[in-house]
Amino acid sequence: MIKITDLHKAFGSNVVLNGVDLHIKKASSMVIIGGSGTGKSVLLKCILGLIQPDSGTIIVNGVDTKSGDREAFLDQFGMLFQGGALFDSLPVWQNVAFRLLQGKHRLSKADAHDIAIEKLRRVGLKPDIAELFPAELSGGMQKRVGLARAIAAEPQIIFFDEPTTGLDPIMSGVINELVREIVEEMGATAMTITHDMSSVRAIADDVAMIHEGQVQWTGPIGKMDDSGDPYLDQFINARAEGPIEAVR
Amino acid sequence: MMMIQAIDSILARIGRSTLGMFESIGRLVIFAAIAVSHIFRPPFYYNAFLQQLINIGFYSLPVVGLTALFTGGALALQIYSGGARFNAEAIVPSIVAIGITRELGPVLGGLMVAGRVSTSIAAEIGTMRVTEQIDALTTLSTNPMKYLVTPRVLAATVILPVLVFIGDTIGVMGGYLVGTHRLDFNDATYLKNTWDILEFDDVSSGLIKAAAFGFIIALIGCYSGYHSQRGAQGVGNATKTAVVTASVLIFAANYLLTELLF
Ligand SMILES: Nc1ncnc2c1ncn2[C@@H]1O[C@H](COP(=O)(O)OP(=O)(O)OP(=O)(O)O)[C@@H](O)[C@H]1O
Ligand SMILES: [Mg+2]
């Protein structure tokens, strides 16, 4: 579904991605882990074309992302940004329904509103927040509105950048289940970044760990615990001692 | 030897900054061309356009009106004291009318709107840039140039002439009020003199300038915000750059257009 080959990206002298190779299978859930600042968010943005990679190829559905119709390409995606990135000039429901109100397949306002309410419910939010503005919500609520927006148009490929950060444990559980449902029932392909190991275990079919600009380890979730990779072991067991230096 | 090196490095620096300047101008021109091209390519965001007409036009009325009123009044006093030196006080209504419509109305109105609008556009779009809202638009298959920039640029270009026309009227009124109350002009004579001297070109050339200033104000606001650096400081810089650049460009454009329309 998504095949990344030898991807490089540097910001000035700061080399972030240094030859990433990764393959995400159709209708599967890939979870990306790795230390803070290792370039996980940059990787997702490179796939979406929000950041121009320096070199390397990204093939989505058999099409090189550098060629082809960008609009059609982006139509298959949903993205939850790490910071939410909600439009603060629009009420919550219009944020969620944003894509449904644009473009060729535009829905009526009433229909879009109904769908927005339904998606808000799926992320554990009540209908009465629909008319509020993003600035009037708590951080965790904003995150969930961002999540509802990402899934609103039922895209084939969904990227979640830290969907459960800032949520209470119960809500995290709800969101983990939601991600699973989207993959299993809707057949979507999901790519999730998370620092929460319980989320990793709940969401992932496959796991990839990014370290120093490369994929340090990748494989099915079942093999994560006995990978024999010292970097991965240190990371998933949250040890301060190991090959990864704590000060970066 | 030292001397040559020093001159060398100074020349290099001048060269670099000149190249940098041309690069920025080039980028601005491309940005403007893209923004304008979206006027002719659907979809159109009518609601965004109407909202900007109100934001930029309606809410700038008090600022532009008061600026014109006081400028017209001050101008009447100045011309009177200047004219008195060769017994030409009677010229006040004509000079006020021509000065306001051809020059002061559009330039001062443009500057005031630049202070109000280019800053707020830069801050708004800059904040959207640093909070990734512009990236989010892209991922939701919405072209941010079309959705954010084009409606603002078009609205400002269309509405500034209207604003300046209203400002012109109020400015002439300011001159009239001072002329009839503080100086001893007769009501009817003042108005007749104003009306007789004004030609279509006086007003229209000012309105053409106003449209150009509107374009500059919104374009520079959008451009600065769109290329805002990260963080609160980035947005602050974008805002500052917007108002300074827009004001200087308004003066430059004013001179060029005056040459052209003279
Ligand atoms: N637009 C940008 N301009 C310059 N540098 C950037 C930009 N975006 C990211 N970086 C740099 O790239 C590196 C990786 O950033 P990224 O946001 O991908 O980290 P991350 O792995 O998502 O970390 P976290 O888990 O904390 O979110 C950082 O050093 C960051 O400073
Ligand atoms: Mg990140």
Number of domains in chain B: 2
Mind listing the pLDDT tens digit for each residue in B88-132?
A: 888 999 999 999 999 999 999 999 999 999 999 999 999 999 999
Domain, as residue range, for A110: 87-154
- Alpha carbons B123 and B131: distance in angstroms, whole number: 12
CA-to-CA distance for B185 and B179, rounded, in angstroms? Answer: 6
What count of other Cβ atoms lies within 10 Å of the Cβ of residue B211? 19
Outline where DSSP puts E strands in chain A.
Answer: 2-11, 14-24, 29-34, 55-60, 63-64, 77-80, 157-161, 189-193, 206-211, 214-220
Best A50, A71, A159 residue to mutate vs chain B (most B CBs within 10 Å) = A50
- End residue of a domain, out of A133, A154, A175: A154
- Residues A161 and A150 occupy one common structural domain: no
Residue B109 shares a structural domain with residue B21: no
B-chain residues within 8 Å CB-CB of A77? 139
* Pairs from A19-23 (Cβ < 8 Å, separation ≥ 24): A19/A56, A19/A213, A19/A214, A20/A56, A20/A210, A20/A213, A20/A214, A20/A215, A21/A215, A22/A208, A22/A215, A22/A218
Domain coverage including residue B16: 1-41
Interface test with B, best of A73, A79, A90, A105 (most B CBs within 10 A): A79
Q: Is B124 exposed, middle or buried (0-12, 13-18, 19+ CB in 10 A)?
A: buried
Residues B36 and B92 in one domain: no
- Whether residue B137 is found in the same domain as residue B15: no
Residues of A in contact with B132 (CB under 8 A): 81, 83, 85
Q: Which chain A residues have a beta carbon less than 8 Å from that of B128? A: 87
- A93-130 pLDDT, tens per residue? 999 999 999 877 788 999 999 999 999 999 999 999 99
What's the total number of domains in chain A? 2
- pLDDT score of A248 more than 90: no
Query: Do B29 and B152 belong together in one domain?
Result: no
What confidence score (pLDDT) does residue A247 get? 66
Q: Check whether residue B203 and residue B243 sit in a common domain.
A: yes
pLDDT bin (cut points 50, 70, 90) of residue A23 is: very high
- Read off the pTM: 0.90
Pure H helices in chain B: 2-37, 46-52, 61-83, 92-98, 105-113, 119-130, 133-139, 144, 150-181, 187-197, 200-226, 231-261
Same domain, B69 and B5: no
Q: Are residues B230 and B118 in the same domain?
A: yes
Task: Tell me which residue in A48, A86, A88 faces B139 most closely, judged by beta carbons.
Answer: A48
The interface predicted TM-score (ipTM) is 0.91
Residues B114 and B212 grouped into a single domain: yes
Within-domain flag for A81: no
Please list, in sequence order, all residues whose beta carbon lies within 8 angstroms of the beta carbon of residue B160, skipping any fewer than 6 positions away.
B56, B57, B109, B110, B113, B210, B211, B213, B214, B217
Q: Ligand 1 mean position to A37 CA, how many Å?
A: 5
* pLDDT of amino acid A100: 92
Give the domain-ending residue among A115, A138, A154. A154
Per-residue pLDDT of A143-182, as tens digits, reads 999 999 999 999 999 999 999 988 899 989 989 998 999 9
Closest-CA residue of A relative to B132 is: A85
- Which pLDDT value is given to residue A244? 86
Query: At CA A196, angle to CA A192 and CA A199, rounded to 5?
Result: 60
The predicted-structure confidence for B149-203, as pLDDT tens digits, reads as follows 999 999 999 999 999 999 999 999 999 999 999 998 999 999 999 999 999 999 9
Residues B35 and B73 in one domain: no
Q: Kindly determine whether residue A74 and residue B139, on different chains, have CB atoms separated by under 8 Å.
A: yes
Asked if residue B259 has pLDDT above 60, the reply is yes
CATH, residue A60: 3.40.50.300
Please check whether residues A237 and A178 belong to one and the same domain: yes
Cβ <8 Å between A45 and B135: yes
Q: Which chain B residue has the Cα nearest residue A102?
A: B142
Which DSSP category does A107 fall into?
P
pLDDT bin (cut points 50, 70, 90) of residue A38 is very high
> In the beta sheet, which residues pair with residue B39?
none
